[in-house]
Amino acid sequence: MVEFVTILLSGLFTLVSPVGIVADQLAEGLIRERIVRAELLDVRIDNTPNFQIVNGRVDRVRLAGRGVYPVPELRIDTLDVETDTIDLDMQGLRQGRIALDEPLQSAAHLILKADDLNALLQSPRVQQLLERLTFNLPGERQSRLGNRYRLTNPRLVFLGGDRLRVLVDLQDQVLQERTEAVVETGLQIIDGHQLTLVNPTITVDGQPVPRQLITTFVDGAEPELTLKQLEDFGITARVIQFEITPEAFDLAVFLRVDPTSPLLNP
């Protein structure tokens, strides 16, 4: 969502036409230039009167996307973004910087389908990342080879009730055998920012991993699973809706971007 907002801001000061539909079309064109493609993309810029855009003020921007591909490997089924009033620093914009006089606030609604996420997981990009992750199983004697296992063929299943299942094959580099590992967990959002794993289970070749090892893993992972990490970049993000059904992952978030955020001018 930050990328879409940044693209909109970068072009707003050029939208000097008093006819609103022209501004909408130009903003849509800016976004289409930055993404791979979209099955449907509609942008609306609300301003009363329209000449306020020239002075750096936009009442509201609304974006509706369906089948949006930000990268070739990932399809976002639904992407809806709506901003509050945007107050632009026109002097900074004319100097080539994305600049705000006041913080930018927006809300975004995303729907991701399991089939689309699995297409991403099966893509060469993800496969290459997994090939770099080598390890030994907990409790196993250290092999002379070291880093005995590799992860391959990841798959994702939405279970409903805010639970999901991840399946992955463990490729034994010594015996040249494959073993299936299954991770199943519920997901919960605490205070709008903290992702918590609920009753996670892990099985390897049909055998459950000891609970103590799972607890150690969760305790180490959860401190990193918070949106508060974005605050170091001048971004406040909070989840306002979260649901996993067998069909889709449904997420709505609130986003506040401070004028000093380094993400506006990476």
Distance of alpha carbon 68 from its chain centroid, rounded?
A: 13
Q: In angstroms, rounded to a whole number, what is the distance separating the alpha carbons of residues 114 and 161?
A: 15
Average pLDDT, the chain: 84
Share of the chain above pLDDT 70, in %: 83
For 86-130, write each residue's pLDDT tens digit.
888 878 777 777 788 899 999 999 999 999 999 999 999 898 888
Is residue 141 over pLDDT 60?
no
Q: In angstroms, rounded to a whole number, what is the distance separating the alpha carbons of residues 167 and 181?
A: 6
- pLDDT at residue 64 in the model: 95
Q: In angstroms, rounded to a whole number, what is the distance separating the alpha carbons of residues 42 and 20?
A: 13
Which position has the token pair 């994702």?
156
Q: What is the pLDDT averaged over residues 182-207? A: 94
pLDDT band, residue 79 (cuts 50/70/90) = very high
- pLDDT at residue 134 in the model: 58
Is residue 5 over pLDDT 80?
no
Q: Which of 3-12, 45-54, 207-216 has the highest mean pLDDT?
A: 207-216
